[in-house]
Chains A and B, each alone.
Chain A
Amino acid sequence: MIHKSLKELAQALAAKQISSVELSTLFLDRIERLNPEINAFVTVDREKSLKMAAEADARIAAGTAGALTGIPIAQKDIFCAEGWRTTCGSRMLENFIAPYDATVIRKMHHEAGLVSLGKTNMDEFAMGSSNESSYFGAVKNPWDLARVPGGSSGGSAAAIAARLAPAATGTDTGGSIRQPAALCNLTGLKPTYGVVSRYGMIAYASSLDQGGPMGATAEDCALLLNTMVGFDERDSTSLDRPVEDYTRDLDKPLAGLRIGLPKEFFGEGCDANVMAAVQAAIKEYEKLGASIVDVSLPNSHLSVPAYYVIAPAEASSNLSRFDGVRYGYRAPEYGNLDDMYMKSRAQGFGAEVKRRILIGTYVLSHGYYDAYYLQAQRIRRLVAQDFAEAFKSCDVILGPTSPSTAFKLGEKSADPVQMYLSDIYTIAINLAGLPGMSVPCGFAEGLPVGMQLIGNYFDEARLLNVAHRYQQATDWHQQRPAGIA
């Protein structure tokens, strides 16, 4: 039961082969047994979960269930859920019990009837690529417990890989859904900016942050995405557009599909074994009837520098709300008001968060705004224009998700810049606001490799189709880590 897809679980629930309470208990028991080692969850509340499961069972019995009612999932601890501790991986919010629901939580749990198994660990305030910046400790990669699961949605990724949950939510500001999906052999989708509401999703860099699904397969992601999307007047950047069924094109044949390969993603800087797996996936796509087109993203090498101006600038502004007055951590001892701010923030934030706040403060300060912030925004436009040009000759863009497989715990944590370069292939997509996926495409020395699929704006259904057809022809996504029983 624990390895079943969301569709199979939905069928089992509908056929009354298992109740939601039984199914949720199965996963809660696994969490209890395996989480102390993996550290994927920071908050579990069996009573709350089982109450949701009982409500789902009542809906199923009454015939008012939706497609996924009763299926348990894990929520990244960045989404506020009323009555649940919501920490964002930070000491700042260690004891914060959210007084309201994020729109994603409302839609998934209160409308679709999914059951929450708890809140997953993450890099502090979603700032990181290894999950090591969490106040609640590093998460272990189920494929090798000495390695990182990626980040920032590392807890969600490890939870699914160890089958502590059948699927989960993540958020992606510079690669935080796709990179951990790649490192843990999962499928993850970052939707077009504006498709999933950001209301109640704790802000890191507001013009880049986007929530999305993580699961074992593209089909699971499509089903989950259906429950997450929709216009939300509470999010000023939410897009008012027609509702889509993201499963509608899953089975469409790929004949005639034009796959663009950006030469910048196939040069130096990528591990040879990762590249070999991606090349093999390209061959598979050719067998499936796709044609390969060479494209270029000439400014993509500027994405990381531009991102590390824009994201910290927005973060320094967003995180100024944590002042020890209205919510969150307050230092036990302080002098005047200024001292209370300075000490509460110094003690409540971890090192990486402080670094980004300082960078952001600097690039927005008088005399540096034009040279850094405006220049970064101009480069952002160049990066977006590159994609627009590339999509004139192809339907989707393919490349590696991450330049390497999962690295060892501690390997990059001493050097922030090395860590930042883990996201060289994913960041440009956030700057442009495009949808992107990571899909399992092989192994290198026993560790999973992910390929990235990038679509044009609102082309999620096509991306899911391209990923699904590949998963019908390959079984990489069905491989499970050997050490986890």
Chain B
Amino acid sequence: MSLTIEQVQRIAHLARLEVSESEALTTQGHLNGIFQLIEQMQAVDTTGVEPMAHAQDVFQRLREDAVSEADRRAAYQAVAPETEAGLYLVPKVIE
């Protein structure tokens, strides 16, 4: 399997990564090398094997529906690129 340059650009868009045309070319080479490595998996018959998502077979814990965290909005927003009145600022999305 090998990716076309259009596929590389489409994946980059899905991942919200801007790539220039020259970058896309280098990336295409690298990704295809990696996919060649990954392709080894396809030769294995895994019929009937249950996919393993996690090392330990444990269930997601649930906790009491109670307030457990203090309000630390100011501290957490101090590391944001741009805030105002407790809100995160981004470019206008609604005209």
Contacts and interface: CB of A to CB of B under 8 A. Distances in A.
Contact of B33 (A192, A379, A416): A416
Interface stretch (A31-39, A51-59, A353-361, A448-456): A353-361
Contact of B88 (A192, A326, A354, A379): A326
A99 B37 contact: no
Contacts of A478: none
Contacts of B63: 233
Contacts of B38: 305, 308-309, 359, 372
A316 interface: yes
B55 interface: yes
A327 B74 CA distance: 13
A378 B91 contact: no
Where chain A touches its partner, the secondary structure class is helix
A237 B58 contact: yes
Contact of B19 (A100, A320, A346, A415): A346
Contact of A355 (B31, B53, B61, B92): B31
A432 interface: yes
B18 A343 contact: yes
Contacts of A11: none
A337 B35 CA distance: 32
B46 interface: yes
B41 A309 contact: yes
Interface stretch (A41-49, A110-118, A380-388): A380-388
Contacts of B13: 342
Contacts of B79: 96-97, 99, 326-327
Nearest to B28: A358
Interface stretch (A136-144, A246-254, A328-336): A328-336
B22 interface: no
A105 interface: no
Nearest to B68: A233
A420 interface: yes
Nearest to A338: B16
B56 A433 contact: yes
Nearest to B26: A351
Contacts of B36: 417
Interface in A196-217: 207
B17 A342 contact: yes
Given A305-B41, A355-B27, A417 B33 contact: yes
Contact of B31 (A96, A323, A329, A358): A358
Given A345-B17, A365-B11, A302 B41 contact: yes
Contacts of B3: 362
A128 to B, nearest CB: 14
Contact of B49 (A237, A335, A372, A382): A382
B80 A326 contact: yes
B67 interface: no
A99 B55 contact: no
B52 A378 contact: yes
A340 interface: yes
A378 B17 contact: no
Interface in A163-194: 192-194
A100 B49 CA distance: 41
Nearest to B36: A417
B88 A365 contact: no
B88 to A, nearest CB: 5
Nearest to B78: A99
A420 B37 contact: yes
Contact of B34 (A341, A382, A417): A417
Contacts of A346: 17-19
A237 B56 CA distance: 9
B50 to A, nearest CB: 6
A374 interface: yes
B11 A361 contact: yes
Nearest to A312: B34
Contacts of A457: 56
Contacts of B85: none
B66 interface: no
Interface in A365-403: 365, 371-372, 374-382, 384
A359 B3 CA distance: 11
A436 B73 CA distance: 40
A420 B30 CA distance: 12
Contacts of B82: 330
A325 interface: yes
Contacts of A239: 56, 58
A433 B57 CA distance: 11
Contacts of B14: 361, 365
B4 to A, nearest CB: 12
Contact of A432 (B55, B60, B61, B91): B55
Given A334-B91, A362-B11, A378 B51 contact: yes
Nearest to A368: B1
Sorted nearest first, the 3 A-B pairs with minimum C-beta distance are A433-B55, A377-B51, A378-B46
18 contacts: A100-B72, A236-B60, A237-B54, A330-B82, A334-B91, A336-B92, A339-B18, A349-B17, A357-B17, A358-B15, A361-B14, A372-B38, A375-B41, A375-B44, A377-B51, A378-B49, A380-B52, A457-B56
